[in-house]
Amino acid sequence: MVKAQIWGILFLYSFMTAGYTGIIKTGERGGNRMPMRTDLAIEAAVLAQDGRAEALSGVRQESEQEGEMTLTRIIIENEEGAEALGRPLGTYITAELPPLTDDEEGMEEKAKRLGEELRALLPPEGAVLVIGLGNEAITPDALGPHAVHMVMATRPIEGEFARSIGLDDLRPAAVLAPGVLGRTGMESGEIVRGVCGVIRPAAVIVVDALAARSVARLGSTLQLCDTGIAPGSGVGNNRMLLNAETLGVPVIGMGVPTVVDARTIALELTGREESADSVTPRGEAMMVTPREIDLLIGRASRLVAMVINAALQPEYSPLSLIAAAK
């Protein structure tokens, strides 16, 4: 049962300002479609498997335990698996961590390990563009902008200047927080595509806040995927996809869940559509976020930035790169 003292704020998001991402908005349970909104492949796999005796066809899943962190790799291998999970073919890596609101002990070591996973999804060389999606004015949606502000932009450090200061081993990286349509009048996808056309990166990393099905995953799960991201689709506000097809280079999606859809909570607790309808009487997208959301966003954005810094500049301390970026 959800404890009232943990969950304090209900957010009614305007489709013009919210920026949550996601592909799947429905899950299968007992053969009946129920609107369980989640951006996490690991939760989508559970929903798709529920009520089935046989393993999901076209979906391969493996897990490993590393100290306090559990890494789960889900690989969608064919269209049957993609249809079952409601996601594109590709690799989805989920790190389950102790709650970020508890403490940050050992966070740099976890970041280095996750940096290895992220690096394996990237081309071995070439510039990388890091995009932080979201509305910085709405705390649960500010993960992306806050994270990219702590990623060291190394693209200007090149040539003789880089050699003279002993930093010629840095991988070129550029960072951008494009804002949201309601504030800029431009789609995030339009801005990102324009920038890609100018700087021509070898790959793009896109960071955004995610929506989870389970409240237990808020601030305790990090997802990586090589299928890109869909700005705004987590709140039903589908925008231009940011993926290899639209940008012409590999696009890595990365995020931490910060909200749960109120309707999903009601369905999860009761299993009844009428109970879910009662929490959204006018059909609005109502999102629930933890009371400690400011702390969660601060620590989650720092973890995401450390993972990206560790992936792009493995020879340097992720924390020292955050200090340099600031």
Kindly report, residue by residue over 12-34, the tens digit of the pLDDT.
333 334 444 443 333 333 333 44
Domains of the chain: 7-325 (3.40.50.1450)
User: Nearest to residue 286, comparing CAs of 301, 267, 303, 300?
Assistant: 267
Average pLDDT in the 120-143 region?
Answer: 95
- Crossing angle of helices 318-325 and 107-121, in 10° steps, is 90
Q: Would you place residue 6 in the very low, low, confident or very high pLDDT band (cuts 50, 70, 90)? A: very low
Token pair 């919210």 in the structure block, residue: 18
Share of the chain above pLDDT 90, in %: 57
Q: Which stretches of the chain are assigned E, i.e. beta strand?
A: 7-12, 27-29, 32-34, 59-66, 69-76, 90-96, 128-132, 173-176, 203-212, 221-225, 251-261, 286-290
Structure tokens at 294: 């400011």
CB 300 within 8 A of CB 219: yes
pTM reported for the whole predicted model: 0.86
- Crossing angle of helices 293-312 and 318-325, in 10° steps, is 110
Structure tokens at 137: 């004015």
